[in-house]
Amino acid sequence: MPLSEQEQRMLDEMERHLLQHDADVVSAPSGDRALSYRNLVYGAVLLLIGVGGLVAAVALGSQLGAVGSIIIGVVAFLAMLGGVILAFTPVRRSADGTPSQSSPRGPKPRDASFMDRMNDRWDRRQEER
């Protein structure tokens, strides 16, 4: 169903408004998140263990049987996947520059839905003008 002329104008106006006012939020670098050297090392080790397990599953396939080699292969693949995820997961840095695993935000209210929170944020932005 095509938009009416008024709806199209309103949509264009909202897009212009977002580009003007929120472009700095979108392009701002996230300086509080960085990769951890420790996580990179642990992830690389886990990845290598997974590759070794996969090679072992293939090499010992005839001795372990089909089910055994499949189980070892799946576990090795999960280890490799976990290693990559661990290596490239950024950690939040605190104000003094040390990595922090905990989130600085407090608990979210359970009674407010996602759309209610978004509407509240929109209303606060409009009141600031």
For tokens 């978004």, the residue is 118
Each residue of 46-60: b (16+ CB within 10 Å) or e? bbeebeebbeebeee
Structure confidence at residue 5 (pLDDT):
87
Per residue in 72-129, pLDDT (tens digit) is: 999 999 999 999 999 998 887 665 555 555 444 545 555 667 878 888 888 888 888 7
- Rounded CA gap, 53 and 63, in Å? 15
Question: Distance from first CA to last CA of the chain, Å, rounded?
Answer: 34
Beta carbons within 10 angstroms of residue 40's beta carbon: 14
| Number of domains forming the structure of the chain | 1
How long is the chain? 129
Q: What are 87's two structure tokens?
A: 């290596």
In the chain, the largest separation of any two C-alpha atoms, in whole Å, equals 73
Residue 68 within any structural domain of the chain: yes
Whether residue 71 lies inside any domain: the answer is: yes
Q: What is the mean pLDDT of residues 7-25?
A: 76
pLDDT at 42: 93
Question: What's the chain's Rg over C-alpha atoms?
Answer: 25
Q: Give me the chain's average pLDDT, please.
A: 79
For residue 83, being part of any structural domain is answered with yes
The answer to whether position 8 is within a domain reads no
Q: Is residue 58 part of a domain?
A: yes
CB 32 within 8 A of CB 68: no
Q: Is 72 within the bounds of a domain?
A: yes
Range of the domain at 68: 33-101
Whether 74 is covered by a domain: the verdict is: yes
Is 67 domain-assigned? yes
Predicted TM-score of the model (pTM): 0.49
